[in-house]
Structure 1
């Protein structure tokens, strides 16, 4: 039986897509905005710009002083933040319903008139903030650059997903005020944006309020790049090893996957869950519990929209164990799974975990608003929040097996190995 969260959608004359989902259970409203710009939209020499704007958007706009966005909404009891990813940038706040118009006014001012405040001083300041973030989250953390290495190993040079959202500090240093103004003008436009209201608001009131505050922002129609050509699985294994001062060896086995929201991606995602995404998964049972050569196993699939997605298995190796033997055991299980597919119990467990996660996510007003924006912006249908589980349940064991045989083959792996200093392994 499909879920039935109310979903209402309308497009304003300037191209802005608006989604309203009433929920009177608490007297709050979540305002969630997705802009169709992430690191995949950046060009060589201009990486890190999407993430930079996540910071610049809080540094003031035409009528709002630097830092005032946070201060004004937190004074009303609001919660707010922003994130950047490969496919989008999003801005979100949950406020008491009486503060919704303040939130809309603040958002409209920065989405429509940010560049009034983007000057050399603000650019320099936020460049320094991003550099410090990179030092703390990437450079000074054990395994901190591992995923950056995964992206660069799985996706070819020049591909939209080859570089991380943090971008290149050299590119940011080289950026002028004119460069960042041009990037904002290119991507921050009504026809490239979704505004979602989820919470204690009537449908027509929600549409009217968004039009009141965002309707004046000028349309900026232009041809936007479609998805690049689809990437198939890697034709042969690729490998990157780093020896660093880390607590233990860690292996990342990464694979290209089909694009998000397709039956093939759903099947590959369930395959990864059955292999290593659950406490009962076969890699956990074998490597952690029975053979005790891995400290932990984690497997997941990340759905992307630009021609390919990403799946990976991460294994922390017991310090005394043979890292090459751990990898070989994973390859054995991949080969076995590609032939036999999941057992009934494995598929049931993977589906049950997916259902629990999905329902838990939708139970949160903030996360439901985020899912509505995601489906509206990336897939053109916010109502898919209500049918996602039905599509997942329709996946057959044969489809899961076939997805593993196509996308999760040992010969299609990219291995990023972080080896504890003083150790070195040789893997054929």
Structure 2
């Protein structure tokens, strides 16, 4: 039986798509905004801009001082943040119902009038903040740059997903103030944005409030490019090896997958769960429990919309084990799965985990609002949150096997291996 979360939609004359989902269980409202700009919209030589604006959006706008957005809403008992990803940038806050108009006023000031506050000093300051974030989260963490290596190995140079959201510090250093202003004007527009209200508000009140605040913002009829051509699986293995000071050898074995919200992506995702995404999966049973050559195995799939998605398995190799042998054992299981497909128990376990995860996510007002914005912006249909599980359960064991046979072949893998540095003194 499909879920039945109430979902109401309206598009304002300026192109802003508004979604309202009433929920009177608590007297709060979540404001969730997805802008159709992520790292995949950046061009060579201008990477890192989408993430930079995630920072700049909290540094003041026409009528709001730097830091005041956080201060004003937290003083009302609100919580808020923002994130950047390949396909979008999102901004969100959950506030008591009485603070909703304050939240909308703050949002419209920065979405409509941010550039009044983006001067050279502000830009230089936030570039330094991004550099420090990169040092802390990527450069000075064990395996910190592994996923950056994965993206570059799986997707060809120049492809929208080839570079990470953190981008290039050299590109940011080279960017002029006008470059940054032009990026904002191109992408931050009501006709490239979804605003979702989820919580204690009626559809009529929600639409009226959003139109009052956001209606005056002019659209920006920038041509939006369509998806790039679909990428097929890699035709030969790609390998990247790093010798670093890490606790243990770690293998990232990655594959291209079909685009998100297709039957084929759902089937490939279930295959990865059955292989390595569950506590009872094949790779865990063999490598961790039986052979004890791995400390842990984790498989995941990320659905993207620009012609391709990404799936990968991360294996932490046991200290005394050989990484090459562990990789060979893993590939044996992938080959066997492509022939045999999942057992009934494996598929049911993968579906049960997917259902638990989905229902737990939707039980949170904040995460439900995020899912509504996601489906509205990237798939044009927020109602998909109510039918997602039904579509997943319609996938057959044969579809799962066939997806593995096409997309998860050993010869289509990209391996990023982070190997512990050899102690040369000890060897000597």
Check whether TM > 0.5: yes
Q: Partner residue of 2:382?
A: 382
Distance 2:402 2:423 in 1: 37
Please report how far the alpha carbon of residue 327 of structure 1 lies from its aligned counterpart in structure 2 after TM superposition: 0.1
Q: Partner residue of 2:353?
A: 353
Distance 1:358 1:416 in 2: 30
Distance 1:108 1:235 in 2: 47
Check whether the contact 1:277–1:300 (CA below 8 A) recurs between aligned residues: yes
What do the CA deviations read for 1:142-177 (whole angstroms, capped 9, x no partner)?
000000000000000000000000000000001111
Please report how far the alpha carbon of residue 221 of structure 1 lies from its aligned counterpart in structure 2 after TM superposition: 1.4
Q: Partner residue of 2:60?
A: 60
When the two chains are superposed, the root-mean-square deviation of aligned CA atoms in Å is 0.8
Normalising by structure 2, what TM-score?
0.99
Q: 1:251 aligned to 2:251? A: yes
Please report how far the alpha carbon of residue 423 of structure 1 lies from its aligned counterpart in structure 2 after TM superposition: 8.0
Q: Partner residue of 1:409?
A: 409
Q: Partner residue of 2:299?
A: 299
Q: Partner residue of 1:128?
A: 128
Q: Partner residue of 1:103?
A: 103
| SS of residue in 2 equivalent to 1:387 | helix
| SS of residue in 2 equivalent to 1:107 | helix
Q: Partner residue of 1:165?
A: 165
Q: 1:37 aligned to 2:37? A: yes
Distance 1:267 1:365 in 2: 28
Check whether the contact 1:243–1:423 (CA below 8 A) recurs between aligned residues: no
Q: 1:149 aligned to 2:154? A: no
| SS of residue in 2 equivalent to 1:81 | strand
Please report how far the alpha carbon of residue 342 of structure 1 lies from its aligned counterpart in structure 2 after TM superposition: 0.2
Deviating above 3 A after TM superposition, structure 1's stretches of 4 or more consecutive aligned residues are none
Please report how far the alpha carbon of residue 222 of structure 1 lies from its aligned counterpart in structure 2 after TM superposition: 2.4
Normalising by structure 1, what TM-score?
0.99
Q: Which runs of 5+ in 1 are unaligned?
A: none
Q: Number of paired residues?
A: 424
Q: 1:261 aligned to 2:264? A: no
Q: 1:394 aligned to 2:394? A: yes
Distance 1:82 1:423 in 2: 42
Q: Partner residue of 1:25?
A: 25
Distance 2:257 2:357 in 1: 21
| SS of residue in 1 equivalent to 2:218 | coil
Distance 1:366 1:379 in 2: 20
| SS of residue in 1 equivalent to 2:383 | helix
Distance 1:84 1:141 in 2: 20
What do the CA deviations read for 1:279-329 (whole angstroms, capped 9, x no partner)?
000000000000000000000000000000000000000010011110000
Please report how far the alpha carbon of residue 219 of structure 1 lies from its aligned counterpart in structure 2 after TM superposition: 1.0
Distance 2:23 2:250 in 1: 44
What do the CA deviations read for 1:331-353 (whole angstroms, capped 9, x no partner)?
00000000000000000000000
